[in-house]
A and B are shown apart, each in its own frame.
Chain A
């Protein structure tokens, strides 16, 4: 077994840990937080909109 074989196993292992960490965190967040809160985001509005709608287009 050379360094490349070790690298192959290391890649499988690290990728597996990262994916499992994300899934575990996703499950934890789903259990700890209210679903309505997690789904509460609204489409963004830039400050341009807030100023622009009051004043119209800058000429």
Chain B
């Protein structure tokens, strides 16, 4: 756990290496699990319940590829910034800058969406208890401020908290599934009655892929904690892949319960489908537990997003891709404190001013751009540093098949997004193109080119 390298005039402050596999699981699953509580069901609206199940498993394949690829590369590039640091070492500075922006955008927008939903949940509860028109803004602000404060004070406490509330939210999903009595099909859950085929045909299945991302969006965030793991080579693969297994189970159970209790026309536009499922049973303790699960899942997601967005921003500051001031580490708490504070007002403005579907679509598209990068990244990584040239904590099987599958599925999801949100897709691409020009022509001159490549790797093949 050595974090300060003392020396005459050469003292250094580094991020704390205190995290283990359970924290990584809590970070990855914590960011994602809210997607099981709400959001995934919009895929039902796009193509029916069966289309949603197909999307669940097809996108599950996409994210399994992401988890395997990320685990291998991150077990070698153990640096805060995750995919940003990977891109910097494997492809180059311009790609790294874009990847870091994808990460900051994806996580800050997701944080804003979660804080908004948490505030809105309080408004709903107040309405049900007789207090109409509660102002949700102070609750949204408190969520962002409290979680930022937690992140400011230390990563161990932050991700231990995330592990606990994520585990409770996951147990709530399992409890709901058990109470539906899956061993008695047709009694509580009646899939025969509610499954009506594909109402919009196979194009509905393609359209459902976009919201199928909700089942897993954010699991790749585990990589951001690599620099703070006691052993990244062990913790990142173990935490990420067990997290992915957890999510595939949670997604399948969620679909099974909701699709067996509600008609697809209702399910496809519900805001809180799991809470609605608990309400159908009329079981008050179950309802309360699902409410707690919903709230905890939004908090866990926002908390993990603050952790990840701040690490990406901090890493860019450290390499001077952004002002170096952001690359500071707190001398007591060993956190990237300036990056954490800087992102607070951005999240608050996004939560207050931007429409929720826009915030979430920007988050999905930023994530998708990152996944597309990963398919090229791992191919180049294996080409430049083949197996046997550097130590890897994990080696993903069947290379290059996962990279090819990932790329094809990303293209399919771009098409699905184009069907529903072409304006968002085009505007975000234009944003990143302008940002790239700004970086190449203006910002890169401030970067100390030799200092940014820190991995003590052998010279790559072919260079």
Contacts and interface: CB of A to CB of B under 8 A. Distances in A.
A binds B: yes
Interface of A: 2, 4, 7-9, 11-12, 14-16, 18-19, 21-23, 25-26, 29, 33, 35, 37-49, 51-53, 55-59
Given A12-B141, A19-B145, A49-B456, A43 B327 contact: no
Contact of B138 (A12, A42, A45, A57): A12
Nearest to A34: B11
Contacts of B329: 38, 40-41
Contacts of A23: 341
A40 B318 CA distance: 9
Contact of A11 (B14, B15, B75, B138): B138
20 contacts: A8-B135, A11-B139, A11-B141, A14-B142, A14-B146, A15-B144, A15-B145, A40-B12, A41-B318, A44-B15, A45-B456, A46-B229, A46-B231, A48-B75, A48-B392, A52-B392, A53-B390, A56-B391, A57-B389, A58-B391
A14 B226 CA distance: 32
A41 B12 contact: yes
Interface stretch (B78-86, B106-114, B208-216, B366-374): B78-86
Contacts of B390: 49, 52-53, 56-57
What are the 4 tightest A-B residue pairs by CB atom distance, in nearest-first order?
A: A52-B391, A44-B227, A11-B138, A15-B145
B126 A4 contact: yes
B80 A43 contact: yes
Interface string B235-266: 00000000000000000000000000000000
Contacts of B331: 29, 33, 37-38
Contacts of A58: 391
B313 to A, nearest CB: 14
Given A4-B126, A38-B331, A43 B391 contact: no
A26 to B, nearest CB: 6
Contact of A44 (B13, B75, B79, B341): B79
Contact of B145 (A18, A33, A44, A45): A18
B388 A59 contact: yes
B13 A43 contact: no
A37 B10 CA distance: 9
A25 to B, nearest CB: 8
A15 B119 CA distance: 13
A38 B279 CA distance: 52
B152 interface: yes
A52 B14 CA distance: 22
Contacts of A33: 331
A8 B126 CA distance: 11
Given A12-B141, A46-B393, A49-B455, A41 B13 contact: yes
B330 interface: yes
A49 B78 contact: yes
A44 to B, nearest CB: 3
B80 to A, nearest CB: 7
B149 A22 contact: yes
Contact of A8 (B134, B229, B318, B341): B134
Nearest to A9: B138
B353 interface: no
A44 B80 contact: yes
Given A41-B318, A44-B227, A56-B389, A22 B454 contact: no
Given A11-B142, A53-B391, 5 more contacts: A7-B139, A26-B341, A39-B328, A57-B388, A57-B391
Contacts of A39: 318, 324, 327-328
Contacts of B344: 19, 22
Interface string B328-361: 1111100001101100100000000000000000
Interface in B158-206: none
B232 interface: yes
Contact of A2 (B79, B131, B139, B456): B131
A58 B390 CA distance: 9
B17 interface: yes
Contacts of A26: 337-338, 341
Contacts of B338: 26
B328 A38 contact: yes
A49 B152 CA distance: 29
A33 B226 CA distance: 27
A42 B14 contact: yes
